[in-house]
Amino acid sequence: MSLSFTVKREKLKTEETIELTGSKSESNRALVLAALSDGKVNIKNLSSAADTVTLDNIINQQIKNNNAVVNVGPAGTAMRFLTAYLSLRGKKVEITGTERMKQRPIGILVDALRSLGADISYKEVDGFPPVLVDGAFQQKSKHIAIRGDISSQFLTALLLIGSSLPEGLDLEIVDELTSRPYVEMTLSMLHQCGIQYSWNNEIISIAPQKFEETTLTIEPDWSAASYWYSVAALSDESIIHLPNLKKNSLQGDSAIADIMSLFGVNTFYNEDGITIEKVTSEIKPQLLDFKKCPDLAQTVVVVAAALGKEFSFTGLETLKIKETDRIFALQTELAKIGVTLIETQDGVYQLNCNDLHFPKQVNFATYEDHRMAMAFAPLAIVIDEVLVEEAMVVEKSYPHFWEDFKKIGFEIK
């Protein structure tokens, strides 16, 4: 991960086709569903993202080999999903990860699983990984009340195992649900596997039931597509074809199409996927809410800053507990081009671009966060030379990002 890349703009192509890997979010859900289905659920176009490779290896190799310890590395989704999945598998397993993973809270999920009947304890610090899971599950209740403003991965981890619980699951979402598209993705994929559910008011109910024979075909990753919208927005002219993306996507990050229309980038849908094109430079700053698509925040904030457009943002609550404190990371790195990101009131952040400038060379830190690397890399369009530290962190979600970047005309050393 220590490798740094220097990115220079050469003669950027005005038109190119980029083949994106499968969605990491869909793939990781599909892996757990396939494992729970005892072979009835098959998967096509599985993501090549490191997080997915890690989860696939743990479920299909390490667990089958009765490993007493599994290490998810920096894969937060794997940590949450495996904690729920392994609580049902009748085996004793320790689930651990990187030092950063040990700082990411998991107590809300563990408390919920314990209330259902799981036997889970902490090895080091209460509320944080590593966790010790004893798969001797004895259901005590089927009703859980859980806050809606937490990570959607906690909710999904519970929903994925709902139909496999002896008494099923009634999941009550308390207060506003902040990442609704991710919950809807989970439920849609369950439905594709033959699992029926009801969602009445705040309660999602899943009865105990069997999976049906099905194949889950994973759509390309809209989160990965967001970086190409960034390239288009920062370019004078750009046409980029992204095959196999769908207008009616399960992925909440497909919202990038509407968001980037505010930056003069239009999306054209066709049978083969989408084409994005820079059509205008007229941009009117406004308030953008990332409550339903927090993984897009870094991309959009950086683009707005580089264009000198003082947008304001809300819905960034979960960014502080991601791979890094993403708000702090953005504030620190944007300062290198003279831009500040300030919390003006509870939960609302405002860009100030009064001192925006582009040095000839800028080193951007990534904080072991794949999205920091990919959000800042397109600034090579407006900065002569961009150094991206720990450049290979992109393997977490988009392993061939730098190869694709070169394909469109960037020089990478």
CA dihedral over 101, 103, 107, 108, signed as positive or negative: negative
Taking the CA atoms of 254, 318, 224 and 396 in sequence, report the sign of the dihedral they define: negative
Q: Which residues does the chain have with pLDDT short of 50?
A: 1-2
Task: Specify which residues 31 forms β-bridges with.
Answer: none
Q: Residue 1: what pLDDT?
A: 40
Q: ∠68-323-314 over CA atoms, to 5°?
A: 140
DSSP alpha helix (H) spans, 67-196:
76-86, 107-116, 152-161, 180-192
Residue 134 is a catalytic residue: no
Reported as a single tens digit per residue, the pLDDT across 100-110 is: 899 999 999 99
| Secondary element (H or E) of residue 344 | strand 340-345
Q: Cis ω on the peptide bond leading into residue 130 (within 30° of 0)?
A: yes
Q: What is the pTM of this model?
A: 0.85
**pLDDT value at residue 205:** 98
For residues 232 and 15, is the Cβ–Cβ distance under 8 A? no
**What does the pLDDT look like over 330-387, one tens digit per residue?**
999 999 999 999 999 888 999 999 999 999 999 999 998 999 999 999 999 999 999 9
Q: Which residues of 84-105 are buried (b: 16+ CB within 10 A; e: fewer)?
A: bbbbbbeeebbbbbbebbbebe
What gap in Å lies between CA 177 and CA 158, rounded to an integer?
15
Of 203, 216, 296, nearest to 252 by C-alpha is 296
Which phi and psi (to 5°) does residue 52 adopt? -70, -40
pLDDT of residue 101: 94
- Which member of 51, 221, 295, 369 is catalytic? 295
- Over residues 195-244, the pLDDT tens digits come to 999 999 999 999 999 999 999 999 999 999 999 999 999 999 999 999 99
Q: Which domains does the chain have, with CATH numbers?
A: 5-19+220-228+247-253+282-412 (3.65.10.10), 24-217 (3.65.10.10)
Rounded Cα–Cα distance for residues 258 and 298 (Å): 16
